[in-house]
Structure 1
Amino acid sequence: MLKNTLKAANSGLFFYWLKKSVYFFRLGVYIINLQVFMLIFGLGMKIEIKKFMSGERYVFLLDDDGMPDFWVTHFVTMKLRKHITTSSIQQYLKSIKHLKLWESINGRDLLEEIYNGVIPTLDDINALKEHCSYRASVFKNQTKTNVTDMGKFHLSKSKDKPTVTKSQYISRIAHITEYLHFCGIERVKKKPSAVQLSDALNLMKTQLKSDMPKDRLKSKQMALDKSGIPDDVFEDFVAVAKPNSEHNPFRNPVIRFRNYLIVQILYETGFRRSELAALRIGDIGTDTDNPTLSIVRRHNSKEDPRLDEPTAKTLGRTVPISKELRDLLNIYVKTHRFHTKAAKKHPFIFVSHKAKSGSHESGQPLVKQTINDIFNRIRKVNFERFWGITPHSFRHYFNHQLSKCIDQEKKAVEEEVKRLEAEGKPQAAKLYADENKITEQRELEIRAEKNGHSDLNSGRPYLKRTVIEQANKMRRKMHENLKHKAEVGVYGY
């Protein structure tokens, strides 16, 4: 009986280990297939921001093992980090990640091929350009059953292929071109054939940039255009954001007050979202009669605990604000912000407040996404009317109001010149016009000062809103003068 019991036990043990072996074998196959899937789709690659002890935020592209990609890191270190912001570097890495997705699908390593003397052909470049026109979701949404055959992957002409915007496509090509050219030159510079390979890489760069819109400012201007939003829509949005508004979607009175200040600052100043999130208590002007808010460039701040540090994209500047807004900001800082837990550890004006227990730590500096969330909540109050309102659209509103003020000033100067000429004072009229006339150059200088632009041409996209408004007025006058107008109630309709 004992012998039979041991035999049964051994038999059970044998089948137990056999079952486990099959399980681990299947798990191993699953892991291998998962790794192949991640390799092909680039799912293991991710972009991360690390904060160094110096305060510098460094953006890495991590591979499937969580290790930084060597050449991408070299490119960021040598080419990008000294000249552009962390958020801009993130956009570069998103484009490079899309390039590596193309390499995975096609079983290619372009930098390794360049090192071996093989420069991407025109067919490669055209295929890469086509790839850059599609959203990443086109590739990620393929069925997992075909994962082992993805080396043969191609886009079916009959399938719907969501594409990116023109501006995103242009940026992708520009980023990838800069990355491949810089790293390609780095890889071949010590080879005997370095001169010939450099010439070939220069040709590759030209071919990648061919057929791109030459006027990138015009493309950017089209992307920035928010001219379809009437002024009264912005006014109504601010009215909903007021703490005492019956339509305000927020319940907590402190959060209502904070959110109203955020909207009001954008309404009065035209600040960017990141500039607003980076405001410190010391940026509130202390002059009683001339209240101001200052934008100060403080990149890689040690005091800022946020990994995605909001920073000023343009030049620093001091902007006048209303006395009422200044007083409300001081009330918020001294009353509501003062009583938050973590606010004493940093100098930033706007902080989180607990909407409910355990939702987030009270007093932490507000992140940029929270500002977006605030606008999304208010927009839903009347989405049909507020659908186009974003934090950045208030920058367009601000510049449109600036255009109106400039037009009024131009008209006042013209009237004064006419008055002086009518009084028989042509020399005084000419002198007054020379000193006060607002030319296009002068207008761009004023706009650059108000917006913090280092390049005067950066202000041109904001002129489009006024131009379209004037064009629409002329079109309405043309309609009034038409002999034949559309008739309602005739022809059976």
Structure 2
Amino acid sequence: MSKIRLKKYLYGGIQFVSIVDENDCPVDVYATAYINSVLSRKAFNTTARYANELLFVLCYFTKRSIDLTVRVASGKFISYPEYLSFLDFCHHQKSAPLEPNVIPFLGVEDKHLRNAMTANLRAFSKVSPETIQGRVRRLRQYLEWLFDEFHGGKIVTDEVEDCFHKLISKLKLDEHSFGRNSDFNPVSSSDSVIPDSVFESLQEMILPESKNNPFKSSKVRNYLIVSLLEQTGIRRGALAKIKISDCRFHGSYDRIFIYRARGADLTDPRLEKPNQKTRSHEAVVDRSLMEKIKIYIDCIRPQFDQSKTHDFIFVSEKNSRGTSGQPLSLKTINNIFNKLSNALDFKVYPHMLRHKWNEKFSLAGQEQKIDGRLLEDMRRKAMGWSPRSTMGQVYNDKVLQRHTDEMMKRHQEILDNNK
């Protein structure tokens, strides 16, 4: 079986994704049509994630000589045991080298020891319920799309239709069960996404003049990146697509417009174009930080020739593959945080600063005694969430749990005193 993989590419400045073989040829015309018709309606990063789930599905069934297209076209579909085997494999990491029921150490004679070792290996390769749910959903939706392609608008036998609907119903039940299981996430009021001591170390370390700064170059740029994520709570993608024209270097001198683009930005040469997932909004930053950004734009950014070809603020400052001066890639932002993580001896990544911002926002609201409903409206505005979004409930639950813990402690103290 030829090795198949996901390929991302640009054509006419527009991003595409495809599942290809070792010769970069599409492995299945129907998979290609599905990706470019159904999945392409989403944001590119979402399309790539869904296509990666489809890759997992195709790899699994192709390895077992099961052609989903032929099965659906013939009206025979996949059997219940075949689906259960797939479901079991969905629990494992994509890179896991072992089949779920294969024991690679046959030289071990003791049956109990072999079983224990196999169980241990399988436990290490488990993935999250959300990942399993995504894989099952992708199989279901792909089968539904294939069924519509081959049998939509045509007369099929009751037996074929009944068999298909039973299979889809089973997939839906399993898909929903993983969704419910993943919702159970006990709230801990004491645990911060980044402990305050680590957060303070990060703030000190990222200063360009800090002796603990782990970077040999690009210190000012990296400081601005971390500081913007910390002060605004925006996502990594939103930060990577900020342009000079988005900054309000006048008036209050403290705002940056975070926008959600409609369609591909043809001025962006990056293969993986960053995107803003939520609504457009204004982010407020300290005036002093805005002044530092202006200095970077005026004095450091122009040192790289290709920076003159676009309006994006943050640029690559290394000339690997001739990228010096080009818009900063999402991968580079990840690498910045990987280096900070190693220096801190604590895993920190861009989205954690979004969570930290929300934690600090909740505490500030408490201290100022802002009404809960008003606070949530303010949070939605600042995060670019829709008016109906319930995302803030995660942070409300932590505040509620903290109050509950305090009340329980006081109640226990009263009981102890009475004793």
Q: Distance in 2 between matches of 1:372 and 1:51?
A: 22
Tell me the residue number matched to 2:364. 405
Q: Which has the larger radius of gyration?
A: 1
Q: Distance in 2 between matches of 1:453 and 1:234?
A: 25
1:3-402 alignment, distance < 5 Å = 36=1, 38=2, 44-53=3-12, 55-68=13-26, 69-82=28-41, 84-139=42-97, 159=118, 160-161=121-122, 162-193=125-156, 197-198=160-161, 200-213=163-176, 216=179, 219=182, 222=185, 227-252=192-217, 255-298=218-261, 299-354=263-318, 361-383=323-345, 387-402=346-361
1:61 Cα offset (Å): 1.2
Distance verdict in 2 for CA 1:274–1:358, change over 3 Å: closer
Partner-residue secondary structure (3-state), 1:50: strand
1:428-443 alignment, distance < 5 Å = 437-439=371-373, 442-443=374-375
Tell me the residue number matched to 1:14. none
1:210 Cα offset (Å): 1.6
Q: Give yes or no for contact 2:187–2:401 (8 Å, CA) kept in 1.
A: no
Q: Give yes or no for contact 1:284–1:293 (8 Å, CA) kept in 2.
A: yes
Q: Distance in 2 between matches of 1:460 and 1:57?
A: 35
1:460 Cα offset (Å): 2.5
Tell me the residue number matched to 2:377. 445
Q: Deviations over 1:264-299 (max 9, x none)?
A: 001100010111111111111133325211111224
Q: Deviations over 1:141-179 (max 9, x none)?
A: 99xxx9xxxxxxxxx966323121222111221222212
Q: Give yes or no for contact 2:132–2:178 (8 Å, CA) kept in 1.
A: no
TM-score by length of 1: 0.73
Q: Give yes or no for contact 2:137–2:175 (8 Å, CA) kept in 1.
A: no
Work out whether 1:460 is the aligned partner of 2:418: no
Distance verdict in 2 for CA 1:469–1:175, change over 3 Å: farther
1:468 Cα offset (Å): 4.8
Over aligned residues, Cα RMSD in angstroms?
3.0
Q: Give yes or no for contact 1:167–1:223 (8 Å, CA) kept in 2.
A: no
Partner-residue secondary structure (3-state), 1:236: helix
1:251 Cα offset (Å): 1.8
TM-score by length of 2: 0.85
Distance verdict in 2 for CA 1:195–1:315, change over 3 Å: farther
1:213 Cα offset (Å): 4.9
Q: Distance in 2 between matches of 1:66 and 1:477?
A: 66
Distance verdict in 2 for CA 1:368–1:228, change over 3 Å: closer
State the identity %.
25
Tell me the residue number matched to 2:111. none
1:199 Cα offset (Å): 5.0
Q: Distance in 2 between matches of 1:223 and 1:237?
A: 27
Q: Give yes or no for contact 1:372–1:390 (8 Å, CA) kept in 2.
A: yes
Distance verdict in 2 for CA 1:61–1:358, change over 3 Å: closer
Q: Give yes or no for contact 2:14–2:264 (8 Å, CA) kept in 1.
A: yes
Q: Give yes or no for contact 1:227–1:465 (8 Å, CA) kept in 2.
A: no
Q: Distance in 1 between matches of 2:252 and 2:21?
A: 56
Distance verdict in 2 for CA 1:79–1:110, change over 3 Å: same
Q: Deviations over 1:184-209 (max 9, x none)?
A: 22122254317764554333222112
Partner-residue secondary structure (3-state), 1:381: helix
Q: Give yes or no for contact 1:50–1:307 (8 Å, CA) kept in 2.
A: yes
Gaps of 5+ in 2: 105-113
Q: Distance in 2 between matches of 1:241 and 1:351?
A: 18
Distance verdict in 2 for CA 1:231–1:296, change over 3 Å: same
Q: Give yes or no for contact 1:227–1:464 (8 Å, CA) kept in 2.
A: no
